[in-house]
Amino acid sequence: MSEIPGGVAGEVTEIASAVADQRQAPAPSRHVGQALRRKEDPRLITGRGRYVDDITLPGVLHVAFVRSPEAHARIVSIDSSAARQRPGIHAVFTGEDMADLTGPLPLAWVPPGVNVNNPEHWPLARGAVKHVGDPVAAVIGTDRYAVVDAAEDVVVEYEPLPVVTDPEKALEGAPYVHEQFGTNETHRWSLGGGDLEAGFAEADVVVERRVVNHRTAGAPIEPRGVLADYRAGSLTVWSATQVPHFLRLFLAILLGMSEERVRVIAPEVGGGFGSKLQVYGEEVFVAWASRRLQMPVKWIETRSENMQAAHQGRDQIAYTRMGLKRDGRITAFHVKIIADFGAYNMLLTPAIPELGAFVMSGVYRMPALQTDIIGVFTNKCPTDAIRGAGRPEATHMIEVTLDQAAAELGLDPLEIRRRNFIPKEEFPAELPIGVVYDSGDYEKALDKLLQHLDLDAFRREQEELRAKGIYRGIGFSTYTEICGLAPTRVVGPEGFGNQAGFWESAMVRVHNTGAVTAYTGTSPHGQGHETAFAQIVADRLGVDPAVVEIIHGDTGTGPEGRNTYGSRSLAVGGEALARCANKIAEKAKAIVAHNMEAAPEDIELRDGRFSVRGSPDKGMTLAEVAGAAYLNQVPAGMEPGLEETTFWEPENFVFPFGAHACVVDVDPETGKVRVVRYVAVDDCGNPINPLLIDGQVHGGIVHAIGQALYERVHYDAEGQLITGTFVDYALPTAAELPSFETDRTVTPSPVNSMGVKGVGEAGTIAASPAVTNAVIDALRPLGVTYINMPLTPMRVWEAIQQAKGGVTA
Amino acid sequence: MSTPVSVRLRVNGVEHELQVEPRLLLVHALRDRLGLTGTHVGCDTSNCGACTIHLDGKPVKSCTVLAVQADGAEITTIEGMASDGELHPLQEAFWNDHALQCGYCTPGMIMAAAGLLAENPNPTEAEVRHALEGNLCRCTGYHNIVKAVLDAARSKSGAIASQSEVAA
């Protein structure tokens, strides 16, 4: 054992050498597609990861925020005198102290031709608070516990103002969240194609639904956290963020600093799920405070703060209307979405329902389709991207409406899907709304799903169980999604209105010994980029992934990047890295050709060596190539060294798809739903690492099962948050869930050279309608046709009573 | 702030004597005073289990124990699970089975699972799921965590079985 307190050093050294031993093992010639266990894990399973709260600096000061207990109020006065007198307290700041910010927090989505009402939103409230948890003041001191004590001593006098929490009521008129607009409506936006009126006129039946997709929390297990160190004119910020590059840009702008003076590092990040895709007021405040006090300043969020003030997701009320012919073919689909944005626009808030509109056709041919979106302010925490971001909502709307159509038309739910699938011959498929699906084979995914299920046996078993009082149901969801957020032409200022380009960057540096450091502009927070990206680079350079280190999440090292969200890392960032590694390989071939007196086109990478085609003994390893490159033994006119940078942007998004089935048991006496079985077939193109794909799918499914059955951010009519902790906000645990059955089909994307698509959100996009449809399938014999999520025992029991004609509260 | 009191802790086999505020949580003593940052904090209501450690051999949530309550106790944290360069079978299984993504819940998850295996070396899947009910993970959907715990149990009992064969 070691002498170090806590006794760890010896083991760590040993484990590091055990990892190194792995490097000696004979490597397969191809690493892409292998279920390589993760390079990230040795440090994480031994407690040696470094998250923001694990980092400290000499003299660091701690922050506690004073947050509004009121949902809507004018701030009459703030008395911080008692707090300031407590020992160890350095400062108490309020909004007025931050007058030197160059502007309010950013909204980065400004669609051409659309006016979005956008109130000023400051890191610390100025004059009024708009939701419970809105920060009003910040206490800074030497001790974590002492600043919390002092925050209790800050006396804020509020004059309560009228509150609105129901988005439909909010659209009817006063009270207004932001009086200056004279409305709670933020904006309207529509996306349509085809002749809607003709489509409905042609329909034999029209099915309507009010689909409530309730508000949920991202709930990464690591809450937010920021450490900022302003020192001699430069600012370094460590933040639990998904978007260090965006954060650096906005910190520089808001603090009035030159961008090169600001460095943002996303260290180990403990999950994000969209909730860390943000430029938060707390991040800006901590950086500002470090500059103001000329001391390092740290804020680590508590869970109850996270539940009040980290942006939330979903919260859409949709009115769906689907026209169909008697044979089940869809003739028209219209959706009106009322999207509850909460109290402010955050970085991308208005874009979230819009992302759903891009896939409102699902996997189906819809000759006429229109999505009308109305954004609404309420006195609740703002919403923004949470895993899936608009696409789970859209898929839910489509899939539950289609199931009801099948029931009304007397069709099997799978048959109605097959009759509407966009056939594989039509890909790339341009939809009436202008979106082009890159690839798809929906029949193949559904066929594969059915290989896992014996539906005839299931239906027999369902009847037998029903006779015993157990209501078993099966629900399906066939989905596609839009991800790999990229083409600037579509997403950027001239298109959808995001004020950014959506390329991605990569830089590959081969060291003297042939070891490789590769930089990506993406910023993972659990996905496993260090492994998957190393596999991609290793194959292209003929080395083992163990000697390829992937550097991410640090604006001070690699090139400018566009971060991680929208399942874009692999399809955009991975492809950029592949192309960058290809550049290195090309240079390596030229160097080998020069040194072997052969033509560059005769050099091939084979068994870990760049060798002359037909003469495998005449060749060089990457280490030898690097040696030559750094000794300037390169062809005339070529630069020495072995390092390349790539910026790459695809021509289109990628569109993963799949077919999911969920089996549930419902207890009609209590309304309790239990997931018995879950089968998922997903198609994310060519697999890079199957372990990581399955992991993403599992987690995605549970995120959606959580929403479907347990999780709900609940505010009462006064805007008080009822679900402020993990006691009240019910994340699924291992005990409620089964193990999952996952399978894949492979339909390579034509959009990138690797044929890959994203998979980080697929499970979440697919699963909530599968669960809901399963519950409805179980309860149709009782007359239940739809229940809005979350399908809690109370809601299910009430639906059963209502269907029976009974009266419920 | 009240007068600091003295606390003796034996952590991962090493003796420590600390002067602490009586209200200092054990998790903060471990993290901030002893630098053992492998133990994490994910909530403030003892729901998430990220802070799970072993206190006198039993898994406990160290955010719910005061450092003074642990006076004289034997504590194991995630940093103490590997020994002589060998990963604990649970660590090995978590790695093999991709039972972690962001890794934030992982130390607590491993400590809770170790607590289970100490009491029940051959649990069923249902028993594993029940035992991990107090530990939240947002990334993995628990599928691979459960698999890893079952695999670790098998490898452990396999190892014990082969040792006893040798002894016989």
Contact A47, B37 (CB under 8 A): yes
Q: Rounded CA gap, B107 and B127, in Å?
A: 20
Contact A225, A50 (CB under 8 A): no
Look up residue A80 and give its DSSP letter: -
Give the N- to C-terminal CA distance of chain A in Å, as an integer. 64
Using the Cβ of A34 and the Cβ atoms of chain B, whether some distance falls under 8 Å is answered with: no
* Residue A721, phi then psi, degrees to nearest 5: -80, 120
Contacts of B31 in chain A (CB under 8 A): 53-54
Fold of B89-167: DNA polymerase; domain 1 (1.10.150)
**Contacts of A99 by beta carbon, 8 Å cutoff, 6+ apart:** none
Residues A200-225: tens digit of each pLDDT = 999 999 999 999 999 999 999 999 99
Q: How confident is the model at residue A13 (pLDDT cuts 50, 70, 90)?
A: very low
Q: Which residues pair with A239 in a beta bridge?
A: A226
Side chain identity at residue A791, one-letter code = L
For residue A22, give how far its alpha carbon lies from the nearest alpha carbon of chain B (Å): 13
Quote the pLDDT of residue B84: 86
Residues B95-150: tens digit of each pLDDT = 999 999 999 999 999 999 999 999 999 999 999 999 999 999 999 999 999 999 99
Quote the pLDDT of residue A490: 81
Contact A571, A749 (CB under 8 A): yes
Give the H/E segment covering residue A300: strand A297-300
Using the Cβ of B1 and the Cβ atoms of chain A, whether some distance falls under 8 Å is answered with: yes
**With an 8 Å Cβ cutoff, are B139 and A219 in contact?**
no
Contact A280, A224 (CB under 8 A): yes
Using the Cβ of B21 and the Cβ atoms of chain A, whether some distance falls under 8 Å is answered with: yes
Of the candidates A44, A735, A698, A737, which has an alpha carbon nearest to the alpha carbon of residue B132? A735
For residue A438, the number of C-alpha atoms closer than 13 Å in the C-beta half-sphere is 26
Q: Rounded CA gap, A323 and A420, in Å?
A: 12
CA geometry: angle A609, A613, A617, nearest 5 deg: 55
Of chain A, the percentage scoring pLDDT greater than 70 comes to 96
Contact B141, A701 (CB under 8 A): yes
Using the Cβ of A20 and the Cβ atoms of chain B, whether some distance falls under 8 Å is answered with: no
Residue A155 pLDDT > 60, yes or no?
yes
Q: How many residues belong to chain A?
A: 809
Using the Cβ of A303 and the Cβ atoms of chain B, whether some distance falls under 8 Å is answered with: yes
For residue A695, give how far its alpha carbon lies from the nearest alpha carbon of chain B (Å): 6
Quote the pLDDT of residue A43: 98
Q: Rounded CA gap, A325 and A332, in Å?
A: 10
**With an 8 Å Cβ cutoff, are A15 and B96 in contact?**
no
For residue A264, the number of C-alpha atoms closer than 13 Å in the C-beta half-sphere is 30
**With an 8 Å Cβ cutoff, are A739 and B125 in contact?**
yes
Contacts of B135 in chain A (CB under 8 A): 733-734
Domain B5-80: give its CATH superfamily.
Beta-grasp domain (3.10.20.30)
Asked: is A503-648 a CATH 3.30.365.10 domain? The reply is yes
Residues A529-548: tens digit of each pLDDT = 999 999 999 999 999 999 99
Tell me whether residue A184 is exposed, middle or buried, using C-beta atoms within 10 angstroms of its C-beta: 0 to 12, 13 to 18, 19 or more: buried
Cα–Cα distance list, A694 to A90, A268, A596, A700, B98 (Å) = 49, 22, 44, 10, 9
Residues A557-593: tens digit of each pLDDT = 999 999 999 999 999 999 999 999 999 999 999 999 9
Quote the pLDDT of residue A774: 98
User: Reduced to 3 states, what is the DSSP secondary structure of residue A779?
Assistant: helix
Note whether B5-80 and B89-167 share their fold: no
Look up residue A715 and give its DSSP letter: B
Residue A8 pLDDT > 80, yes or no?
no
Question: Comparing A275 with A27, which gets the higher pLDDT?
Answer: A275
User: Given A699, A734, A740, which is nearest B129 (Cβ)?
Assistant: A734
CA torsion sign for A43, A46, A51, A57 is: negative
**With an 8 Å Cβ cutoff, are A734 and B145 in contact?**
yes
Contact A330, A322 (CB under 8 A): yes
Q: Which CATH number fits domain A401-483+652-803: 2.60.15.10, 3.40.50.300, 2.70.70.10, 3.30.365.10?
A: 3.30.365.10
User: Reduced to 3 states, what is the DSSP secondary structure of residue A658?
Assistant: strand
Contact A473, A465 (CB under 8 A): no
Burial letters B139-154, b for 16+ CB under 10 A, else e: bbbbbbbbbbbbbbbe
**With an 8 Å Cβ cutoff, are B138 and A38 in contact?**
no
Residue B166 pLDDT > 60, yes or no?
no
Using the Cβ of B68 and the Cβ atoms of chain A, whether some distance falls under 8 Å is answered with: no
CA torsion sign for A16, A18, A23, A28 is: negative
Q: What are the tokens at A735?
A: 């005990």
Residue A741 pLDDT > 70, yes or no?
yes
User: Reduced to 3 states, what is the DSSP secondary structure of residue A457?
Assistant: helix
Contacts of B14 in chain A (CB under 8 A): 5-7
**Residue linked to tokens 């299920």:** A453
Residue A809 pLDDT > 90, yes or no?
no
Quote the pLDDT of residue A487: 81
Q: How confident is the model at residue A28 (pLDDT cuts 50, 70, 90)?
A: very low
User: For chain A, what is the mean pLDDT?
Assistant: 94
**Contacts of B126 by beta carbon, 8 Å cutoff, 6+ apart:** none
Contact B77, A6 (CB under 8 A): yes
Give the domain ranges of chain B.
Answer: 5-80, 89-167
Contact A460, A466 (CB under 8 A): no
Q: Which residues pair with A660 in a beta bridge?
A: A477, A680
Cα–Cα distance list, B118 to B90, B92, B129, B130 (Å) = 12, 17, 16, 15
Q: Rounded CA gap, B134 and B42, in Å?
A: 12
CATH class of the domain at A54-161+224-300:
alpha beta
- Helical ranges in A132-257 per DSSP H: 144-152, 167-170, 196-202, 244-255
Q: How many residues belong to chain B?
A: 168
Residues A290-301: tens digit of each pLDDT = 999 999 999 999
